[in-house]
Amino acid sequence: MWLMGLLFPTVLAAAEDCPPLLDYSVHTLVDHRPVRLCDAFRGRVLLVVNTASKCAFTPQYESLEKLYATYRPGGLVVLGFPSNDFGQQEPGSEQDIHQFCRMTYDVQFPMFAKTTVRGSDADPLYKALAAAAGESPAWNFHKYLIGRDGKLIGSFASAVAPFDRRLIQAVEKALAAGAR
């Protein structure tokens, strides 16, 4: 390891500086481009949400997009992970999901490939989030808030709307911490 540090100090420093909750690669919706969360979002406040197109909470897409537009200049990024884990409420293809999100809610925040978010088959990112929070999503539109330092700030149940006072206070506090 010390030899690698001498030969490639920038690479080693970058790997060591990546917070564990961001040390994952995910794939974008539709085109499946790999995105290393650490490289793309380090230093940002992240709201990670498992989404579905045919759920009573689906209208939260509109508020999530508004939240993203409102707080993006300060460093917030909403990350959407469509999931069919709950009631088969995301049955469509990734192209269907993409079209639905764009046409119905004009979603501009980053959306990723269909993801398993609970159980033994859960995506490694969601396993890490569940371990950090002490809870897995119980339904669609569960929210995990990650601070600029890459540490979990909180976990918010599906019924907690994007503009719920508790979530907004947590987002604003996280944005103020370490603001550039």
User: Measuring CA to CA, how many Å separate 15 from each of 10, 19, 23?
Assistant: 9, 9, 9
Tell me the pairing of strands 76-82 and 143-146: unpaired
Which pLDDT does position 178 carry in this prediction? 73
Q: Which residues contact 168 (CB under 8 A, 6 or more apart)?
A: none
- Give the alpha-carbon dihedral of 163, 136, 42, 31, to 10 degrees: -90
d(CA 159, CA 177): 26
- Alpha helices, DSSP H only, in 2-148? 2-7, 9-17, 37-41, 60-71, 94-105, 124-133
DSSP code of residue 42: T
What the block records as the tokens of 166 is: 């508790």
Is 55 catalytic? The answer is yes
Task: Please give the biggest Cα pair distance in the chain.
Answer: 55
φ, ψ for residue 43, nearest 5 deg: 85, 0
Instruction: From the candidates 18, 38, 55, 101, give the one annotated as an active-site residue.
Output: 55
pLDDT values of the chain reduced to their tens digit, one per residue, 180 residues:
444 444 444 444 445 689 999 999 999 998 999 999 999 999 999 999 999 999 999 999 999 999 999 999 999 999 999 999 999 999 999 999 999 999 999 999 999 999 999 999 999 999 999 999 999 999 999 999 999 999 999 999 999 999 999 999 999 999 999 765
Domain boundaries, the chain: 18-175
Which pLDDT does position 14 carry in this prediction? 47
Long-range contacts at 15-21 (CB < 8 A, ≥ 24 apart): 17/42, 18/42, 18/150, 19/149, 19/150, 19/151, 20/128, 20/150, 21/125, 21/128, 21/129, 21/132, 21/146, 21/150, 21/151, 21/152
pTM of the model: 0.91
d(CA 3, CA 1): 5
CATH of region 18-175: 3.40.30.10
Nearest alpha-carbon partner for 108 in 50, 69, 166: 69
Which pLDDT does position 12 carry in this prediction? 41
Which pLDDT does position 9 carry in this prediction? 44
